[in-house]
Amino acid sequence: MMDHNHYRSAVLADPHASDAELRAHLESCAECRAFTEQLLRFESRLERALRVKIPATAHVLPFERKAAAAAQGPWRWPAMAASVLLGLVVAGGVWLTLPQRSLAADVVAHMAGEPDAWKRTEVPVPDPALNAVLQQSKVRLKPGAGVVSYASSCDFRGHKVPHLVVQTPSGPVTVMVLVHEAVRTSMRFDEQGYRGTIVPVPGHGSIAVLMRDSESTGGDISRIAAQVDDAIVWTR
């Protein structure tokens, strides 16, 4: 039989540990429940404290510079000629297209426009409203996927996309179903107070899953994204 000391030592080493013995003790002991709740609040602050802001000067990978340097050398003159040509093409075509930002940056920028979506609530979006949003992208959610507290059909890169907020044990998580945005591999990002991932869905574009740093309780975003991916059923 586990005692208080043993339980508290175990959760101090890993506040998210939850084997059967620990769970049984937690259910039977109010004092240890209070201890755990206090510890989890501290843990949330600890994770935020560790996620220091990364300076903007540290964003270029060293081998990108090496690759650029390698383009000079024996190919320097042809490269310069090509760059002049490229410059002409770009200058000539500049009015045809806006500058391309990264997909992650656009997803984060979209969040700024809908701050109300992040409310913590247990009130689900009514099924007809949720289904109307999801049907546009030919998807539905499996039963038990979690409380969807926000559902909107949003304009994103020229398409209507479902923007959902799902309440999870790790806090509110935003999901954007990006049918028109194919990505080759998973991309994690951490920008402007949001951390998330964009995962490829072969044949169906991609899914962006992100959380606010300020509301994260330490959930692993890749694991949450995998759960979201698993809860989505594609109907086309």
CB of 221 to other proteins, least distance (A): 9
Q: How far is CA 188 from the centre of its chain?
A: 7
Residues that bind other proteins (CB under 8 A): 4-6, 8-10, 12-15, 31, 34-35, 38-39, 42-43, 45-55, 57-59, 61-64, 66, 184-190, 214, 218, 220
Nearer of residues 63 and 77 to other proteins, judged by Cβ: 63
State which amino acid sits at residue 104: A
Nearer of residues 16 and 142 to other proteins, judged by Cβ: 16
Nearer of residues 9 and 121 to other proteins, judged by Cβ: 9
Please provide the DSSP assignment of 112-180 as one string.
HT-GGGG-----PPPHHHHHHHHHTTTEEE-TTS-EEEEEEEEEETTEEEEEEEEEETTEEEEEEEETT
Nearer of residues 13 and 91 to other proteins, judged by Cβ: 13
CB of 176 to other proteins, least distance (A): 18
Q: Which two tokens stand for residue 119?
A: 């409310």
β 159-168/171-178 pair status: antiparallel
State which amino acid sits at residue 69: A
CB of 16 to other proteins, least distance (A): 9
Tell me, what DSSP letter sits at residue 29?
-
CB of 55 to other proteins, least distance (A): 7
Nearer of residues 14 and 230 to other proteins, judged by Cβ: 14
CB of 83 to other proteins, least distance (A): 19
| Residues found in the chain | 236
CB of 129 to other proteins, least distance (A): 34
Residue (of 123, 122, 136) closest to 176 by Cα position = 136
Strand partners, 233: 140
Both ends of the chain: CA-CA distance in Å?
Answer: 53
CB of 12 to other proteins, least distance (A): 4
Nearer of residues 131 and 190 to other proteins, judged by Cβ: 190
Strand, helix or coil for residue 200: strand
Nearer of residues 6 and 120 to other proteins, judged by Cβ: 6
What is the distance between the alpha carbons of residues 170 and 211, in angstroms, rounded to a whole number?
9
